[in-house]
Amino acid sequence: MTIINYNRDGRNNRDGSTYLSPMEFTKYVNPIEIEELFFTIYKEFFPNEVAYVNSEKELEGGYQNIFYYERERHYFATWDNIAYDIKKIFRNYNELRRSEPKAQNISPISKMTDIEVKAMQDIEILTGGKFTVVDHFKRSYGPPMSYSLKNNRVNGIGLHKCGLFEIPESIKDFKFLQYLDLAKNELSNLPNSICELNNLEQLSVSYNKLISLPKSIGRLKSLNHLNLIHNKLKEIPESIGGLTNLKYLLLHHNNIQYLPNSIGELKNIVTLNFSNNLLSNLPKSLIDLNNLWEISLRDNKFKKYPKILRDLKDKNKELHIYFD
């Protein structure tokens, strides 16, 4: 595996890795052969206008661009006919504002499997081909942000602890998304368009400030894991019953006062966790949950042990009930 740290000084690092100057980089390295390429970007490195690093011998000319930077506007593009065999790109630059390739020149990214973006403040990613669009995640601070790709398509987005207080409607453009992690942000709601992610299997919005869920959340037919713990939810939409593939529904530490009857339509549900809420009764439709393996109802407002729990236990002796 070849690991390159790209720095202005052309010095060796203490760990033995070599820093290459701009001209040395393209003289000695063919990025097409690199599996992992590390760029540590310093503002003072670049000229006032534009800097290029190409996959051929010279910095000038119309070669395949691995790297494009426009200092004054903080534009940073890596998808101008990018090298096909690069597996990962790590970028670390806290003044990065936008990643904007020229859509008409984008070639398919045949082997890229993961992109990790660190320390970004206001990111706007505009891409072409099958690598789709995110149009402005509004954030109060900027830490790790990651994307995973499969067959040129984004299938996972990790925005854990990114200071997000809004998710754009254009999230729907990630049509092949299977995994979305929005945990530990500042979100009070989710866009309705999130319900158009027909391939989404796992959604985590835990440790946020959600006060409601989209009414059409039941349209997420592929969803099997929904984590909404530690929010401010007071109710669950009736459409929740549409999540017929859901196996894990985690809602502990919210303000939920009642459960909709449609909860009984979750035919594949295995785990329900409603601990630390404000529940005082349960819908009779729970009896229809034939695959239920565990249900947690600790620290709610029940005055007595609900009869429906006895009925569930009689029906399924292996059911784990957590109640006090």
pLDDT in tens, 299-312: 999 999 999 999 99
**Which amino acid, residue 135?**
D
pLDDT score, position 153: 64
Q: In the prediction, which pLDDT does 237 show?
A: 97
pLDDT of 187 > 80? The answer is: yes
- Compute the distance between CA of residue 318 and CA of residue 324 in angstroms, rounded to an integer: 19
Q: What is the pLDDT of residues 259-285, one digit of tens each?
A: 999 999 999 999 999 999 999 999 999
CA triplet 235, 240, 243: central angle to 5 degrees? 155
Provide, rounded to the nearest whole percent, the portion of the chain with pLDDT above 90: 44
Query: What is the set of domains in the chain, with CATH numbers?
Result: 91-322 (3.80.10.10)
What is the separation, in whole angstroms, between the first and last Cα of the chain?
55
Contacts of 191-194 with C-beta under 8 Å, sequence gap 24+, read 191/167, 192/216, 193/169, 194/167
Residue 302 corresponds to which tokens in the numbers above?
């029940």
- The rounded distance, in Å, linking the Cα atoms of 129 and 292 is 42
* Half-sphere exposure in the Cβ direction for 208 (13 Å, CA): 29
- Position 20 pLDDT exceeds 90: no
CA 152, chain centre distance (Å): 16
Measured between alpha carbons, how far is residue 106 from residues 31, 78, 189 in Å? 17, 10, 34
| pLDDT at residue 162 greater than cutoff 90 | no
Percent of the chain with pLDDT over 70: 53
Taking a C-beta distance cutoff of 8 angstroms, is the pair 59, 53 a contact?
yes
Q: Is 85 left (phi over 0), alpha (psi -120 to 50) or beta?
A: alpha
Q: Give the pLDDT of residue 121.
A: 29
Per-residue confidence (pLDDT) for residue 66, from 0 to 100: 34
Report the range of poorest mean pLDDT among 49-63, 155-169, 226-240: 49-63
- In angstroms, the CA 179 to CA 156 distance is 5
Q: pLDDT confidence of 69, banded at 50, 70, 90?
A: very low
| Range scoring the smallest mean pLDDT among 19-28, 167-176, 245-254 | 19-28
Task: Report the distance separating Cα 267 and Cα 324, nearest Å.
Answer: 26
What length is written for the chain? 324
Q: What is the pLDDT of residue 296?
A: 98
Token reading at 62: 């119309």
Residue 17 has pLDDT above 70, yes or no: no
pLDDT (tens digit per residue) in 99-129 = 333 333 333 333 333 333 332 322 333 233 2
For range 243-249, the mean pLDDT = 98
Residue 231 confidence (pLDDT): 98
Closest-CA residue to 290 (of 305, 312, 308, 310)? 312
Residue 244: pLDDT band with limits 50, 70, 90 = very high
Residue 284's φ and ψ, nearest 5 degrees, are -65, -20
Between strands 179-181 and 50-54, the pairing is: unpaired
With 0-12 CB in 10 A as exposed, 13-18 as middle and 19+ as buried, what is 104? Answer: exposed
Is the pLDDT at 29 greater than 50? The verdict is no
Position 51 confidence tier, pLDDT thresholds 50, 70, 90: very low
